[in-house]
């Protein structure tokens, strides 16, 4: 186990599945951090906890779904991290709901609301609680997940998703300017499809590669990076 994040507490919010959340949680634990996992599925959370603990890492979990956009979900995950580990030094907010594939005029109102709530309102609410804690305790670091779609809009039928992630990118930049003077550094990542080799998106970054980018943005090596949206995609548009 590395000690680059020894003594730091990291909140990973989104899901405990085998994708980006799991890879990032495992990577932080490998670097010495105590990790609080927050997600909607207890079984998925337990699977990630087992991976971390079997490798000698420190982690716990709380069932909390930021994709609902409800204040109590975000409040519960921050409170759980403080109760278990004493603080939240770093937060990674990885809410991603794409919704059904529909051209803009065919998007149902309830689908639009669900996508915007999960990808934008949910992360805004998570940040409200994370920032309140970090400001009270002297600073911290936040990374949010946007998407390369916010810049390219290349996937036909995903305009609501693209709009929500563009909003996430802009929200990140605006918040970064508001809070850097308070010792809180905020950035985003914009990955392309993170799939396993052999899939239709085989050239996209793997979850582990995305996790490496998150780790770097939260590290001392990236202390000069503020309000940036780091695109993780081979396609240049």
Domains and CATH numbers, the chain: 9-232 (3.40.50.720)
Residue 205: predicted pLDDT: 81
Of 5, 85, 161, 179, catalytic: 161
Residue 16: predicted pLDDT: 57
Residue 35: predicted pLDDT: 98
Residue tagged 């305009």 (tokens): 159
Residue 195: predicted pLDDT: 47
The side-by-side arrangement of strands in the sheet containing 140-145 is 58-63, 34-39, 9-13, 90-93, 140-145, 184-191, 229-232
Query: Is 179 one of the catalytic residues?
Result: no
- Upper half-sphere CA count for residue 183 (Cβ side, 13 Å): 10
Distance CA 79, CA 43 (A): 21
Distance CA 122, CA 215 (A): 22
- Upper half-sphere CA count for residue 13 (Cβ side, 13 Å): 37
pTM over 0.85: yes
Collect the ranges in the chain with pLDDT lower than 70: 1-2, 15-18, 149-155, 193-204, 234-237
């Amino acid at each position: 186990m590395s000690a680059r994040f020894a003594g730091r507490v990291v909140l990973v919010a989104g899901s405990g599945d085998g994708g980006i959340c799991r890879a990032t949680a495992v990577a932080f634990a490998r670097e010495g951090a105590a990790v609080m996992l927050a997600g909607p599925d207890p079984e998925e959370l337990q699977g990630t906890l087992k991976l971390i603990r079997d490798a000698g890492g420190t982690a716990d979990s709380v069932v909390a779904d930021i994709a609902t956009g409800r204040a109590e979900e975000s409040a519960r995950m921050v409170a759980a991290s403080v109760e278990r580990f004493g603080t939240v030094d770093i937060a990674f907010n990885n809410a991603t709901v794409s919704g059904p594939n529909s051209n803009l005029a065919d998007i149902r109102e309830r689908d639009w609301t669900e996508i915007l709530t999960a990808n934008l309102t949910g992360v805004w609410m998570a940040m409200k609680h994370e920032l309140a804690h970090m400001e009270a305790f002297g600073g911290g670091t936040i990374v949010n997940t946007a998407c390369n779609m916010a810049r390219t809009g290349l996937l036909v039928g995903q305009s609501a998703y693209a709009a929500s992630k563009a909003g996430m990118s802009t929200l990140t930049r605006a918040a970064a300017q508001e809070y850097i003077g308070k010792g809180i550094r905020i950035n985003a990542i914009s990955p392309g499809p993170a799939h396993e080799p052999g899939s239709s998106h085989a050239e996209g970054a793997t979850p582990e590669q995305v996790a490496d980018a998150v780790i770097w943005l939260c590290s001392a090596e990236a202390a000069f990076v503020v309000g940036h949206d780091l695109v993780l995609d081979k396609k240049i548009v």
